[in-house]
Amino acid sequence: MSATKKPDLRLGYAEYVLFPDDGKRHEVIEGDHYMNPAPGTYHQTVSKRLQHHLFNKVELAGHGLVFPAPIDVQLGPHDIVQPDLVVLLKDGRARVTPVKILGPPDLLVEIESPSTVDNDRHLKRRIYERSGVTEYWIVDPIELTLTQCVLRDGMYAETPHGDELHLTILPDVALPLPEIW
């Protein structure tokens, strides 16, 4: 009796680019397709404010690049995500291609919506940790909280903060959280 190899049915980038441009956010995580509706008003307000502060303190200061959604980030052959904000420091610019970011960025930000809470807090956290994303923020625009996850020895540790959030990837850079909410 011979063993038959089952085909790999997980989705990858070739399948991902065939998804419709329908105003929804499509992602492939661990080879499975995930789709979310367009973000709401609280989400977009917080996203805009975070982007403004990160752009001023990272990109304009010459430390790296800041990308808002939608932007494709391919972390592996079967993991293509669209985080809300992406930060690449100067030495990570080689990961930028004409169509996507290839490899783990230095910082990923996910702003929760009711439909994304489980994925942001568990599934994406696991994928980002495994892929080597140095810093991951999970932002709740309803409860006005930000969870800062920092990669240490291959695992995320949550870092406490007050009204100022210090980026571990750029220790001299701090964001005033009251201005985000």
Separation of alpha carbons 64 and 129, rounded Å: 21
Beta strand pairing call for 107-111 and 135-140 = parallel
Query: Model confidence over 109-155: pLDDT tens digits?
Result: 999 998 889 999 999 999 999 999 999 999 999 999 999 999 999 99
Residue 172 has pLDDT above 60, yes or no: yes
Q: Which tokens belong to 29? A: 């995580």
Q: Which tokens belong to 181? A: 């909410």
Residue linked to tokens 């080597």: 132
Evaluated on CA atoms 42, 156, 12, 28, the torsion sign reads negative
Sketch the domain layout of the chain as residue ranges.
Answer: 39-180
For residue 179, give Cα distances in angstroms to 53, 124, 156, 170.
9, 26, 26, 19
Q: What is the full DSSP assignment across 59-101?
A: ITTTSEEEEESS--EEEETTEEE--SEEEEEGGGGGGB-SS-E
Query: Model confidence over 9-54: pLDDT tens digits?
Result: 899 999 999 999 888 899 999 999 999 888 999 999 999 999 999 9
Separation of alpha carbons 60 and 83, rounded Å: 21
Query: Model confidence over 64-110: pLDDT tens digits?
Result: 999 999 999 999 999 999 999 999 999 999 999 999 999 999 999 99
Decide: 86 and 105 in contact? Cβ < 8 Å: yes
Domain 39-180 is of which CATH architecture?
Alpha-Beta Complex (3.90)
Residue 1 has pLDDT above 60, yes or no: no
Exposure letters 132-143 (e unless 16+ CB within 10 A, then b): ebbbbbbbbbee
Per the omega criterion (within 30 degrees of 0), is the bond before 171 cis? no
Residue 2 confidence (pLDDT):
58
